[in-house]
Amino acid sequence: MQISSEVFGQKDGHDIERYTITNKDGNFIKVLTLGATWQSFTVNGTPLIAHFDDLAHYDSPASYSLCKSIGRVAGRIGKATATIDGQEVHFDQNENDNTLHGGFHGFSEIIWDAEQSIRDHDASVTFSRHIDSDEDNFPGDLDARITFTLTDDNKVSITFSAASTADTLFNPTNHVYWNITDGQKDLTTQQLQVNGKRRLELSDKDKVPTGNFVDLAGTGYDFSKSRDIPSALADIKQETGKVEIDDAYEVTPSADKPIATLSDSASNRHVDIFSDRNSLVVFTANPFNQSKPYNALATEAQTLPDAIHHDGFGDITLPSGKLQEYTISYQYYEK
C-alpha cells in the first residue's frame, strides 16, 4: 500500500491537496481536501465513479455535489427547522424553504485537514475539522472526521465520526456518482439491485418526505432484482410522467449483506454497497451536460431523509459529548 499527495489547486489562498491511495495491484482511489471529495476509484485501469478534472468545477454551484462528503445532515430538512432537546432550531434555507445537504456551509464546502495512515493490507486518509456552530448554523461546535480507506482486495470504506458541544443533528453521507461501464458515456448497461421493498413518498413540490411509504413491487422503482437503469426510467415515465430517479429507498442496515449492488451487463464488474443505516437515496444525473442522457447514478447511504420530523425514520440526533460513527463500504469484484 502507498499514499502520495499533490496540490490540486487553490481556493481562497489555501492549497487544495489531492491524495492517492494505491494498493498492491495498482488500483487506487483519489480524495480531495475540498469537501472531503472522493475524486477517483479506478480498478484495472477502469474508472468507476464520475469526476471533474479541475478544481473550478468542484467549487462551482453547479457541481452536483459530485462525490463530495455531505453533512452535517444529508438530504432535506423540511422548512429548515427542527426541535432538538425541546428547543426549536432554524437552519440555512438553501433550497426554497428547506435545508439541503447541510446548508450553505456544509461539509461539501469545507477545506479539511488531512492525515495519512498505511498498514500492511490497507491505507487511509482521514480528513478532520473543528466546525464552530456559527460557521454552519447548526447547534454545537462539532469535531468531525471522515476517513477513506482502500484495501488490497479493492474495498473502499468511508467512516464518518463526530462529537458536538451541544445536542445537534448528524446524518452524513458521500454523494458518490457511479458509472462502472466502459467509457462512462451513458447508463445503458449499468444495472442496479436494491435490497428494499419500500421507498419514501416525496412531495411533488419540494421532494421533502411526506411521512408515508410506497411499495416498490411491480413498479418502475422496483430494483429487488437487478435491472438496467434505462428500462427502469422508461417504466417510471410511463407510470408517473417523471423522467428521473431521485428517491429514498428503505433498506436494512448490514455489515455483511449489501444494501445494494451495482453491476455492468457488458462486463463482469460489480460493486456491493454496505451501510449501517436504513436508507439509500438513488439519483440519476448527467453532471457534465444536462442536455444529454444520464451518465451517472448517485447512491447516498444514510438514515431516511428528514428523519427529525418523522417517527420511525431513525434517530439522527447527536447528544452533546457523545461520539457517533457511521460507515459506508463499497466492495469491487468481478464475476
Q: Is the pLDDT of residue 137 over 90?
A: yes
For residues 67-76, give the mean pLDDT: 98
Out of 109, 175, 250, 270, pick the active-site residue.
175
Per the DSSP assignment, residues forming a β-bridge with 106 are: none
Query: What pLDDT shows up at residue 190?
Result: 97
Distance, in Å, from the CA atom of 125 to the CA atom of 33, rounded to the nearest integer, reads 10
Query: What pLDDT shows up at residue 62?
Result: 84
Count of other CB atoms within 10 angstroms of residue 207: 19
Query: What pLDDT shows up at residue 291?
Result: 85
Query: What pLDDT shows up at residue 223?
Result: 98
User: Shortest CA distance to 160 belongs to which of 176, 175, 150, 171?
Assistant: 171
Query: 201-227 pLDDT, tens per residue?
Result: 999 999 999 999 999 999 999 999 999
Overall size of the chain counted in residues: 335
- CA quadruple 218, 222, 226, 228: dihedral positive or negative? positive
* CB-based contact 110:129 (threshold 8 Å): yes
Query: What pLDDT shows up at residue 65?
Result: 97
Element (H, E) at 333: strand 324-334
For residues 296-305, give the mean pLDDT: 98
Query: 3-38 pLDDT, tens per residue?
Result: 999 999 999 999 999 999 999 999 999 999 999 999
Distance, in Å, from the CA atom of 122 to the CA atom of 149, rounded to the nearest integer, reads 7
Q: Please, which pLDDT band fits residue 183 given cuts at 50, 70 and 90?
A: very high
- Residue 130 bears catalytic tag: no
Query: 224-279 pLDDT, tens per residue?
Result: 999 999 999 999 999 999 999 999 999 999 999 999 999 999 999 999 999 999 99
Q: Average pLDDT, whole number, for the chain?
A: 97
ω before 18 within 30° of 0 (cis)? no
Its pTM stands at 0.98
User: Shortest CA distance to 191 belongs to which of 274, 268, 292?
Assistant: 268
- Residue 325 bears catalytic tag: no
Query: What pLDDT shows up at residue 239?
Result: 97
Per the DSSP assignment, residues forming a β-bridge with 158 are: 148, 328
Query: What pLDDT shows up at residue 216?
Result: 98
